[in-house]
Amino acid sequence: MATKKQSKKEAAATKIRVQYYRSTIAFPKKQKEIVKSLGLRKLNQVVERPDTPSMRGAVAKVPHLLRIIE
């Protein structure tokens, strides 16, 4: 079974940038764990993660704390 290699342009399109823009103080521990599991530590920090349904689901759990930057 032959597989097609992705070009750099296609590989970049499969990433999402997530920004941590609101503090987790006074929010449940579970939400703090979600933010930490995405690799976010400091306010206004931006990380790149693969654009998968699981990553989008994690961001969707805490939309009041995170933003997806296009």
Sorting pLDDT into bands at 50, 70 and 90, what band is 70?
A: confident
- pTM for the full model? 0.78
Lowest mean pLDDT among 5-9, 11-15, 20-24: 5-9
What does DSSP assign to residue 65?
T
Separation between Cα atoms, residue 69 and residue 48, nearest integer Å: 10
**What type of residue is 67?**
R
Predicted pLDDT at 34: 97
Task: Return the CATH number of the domain spanning residue range 12-69.
Answer: 3.30.1390.20
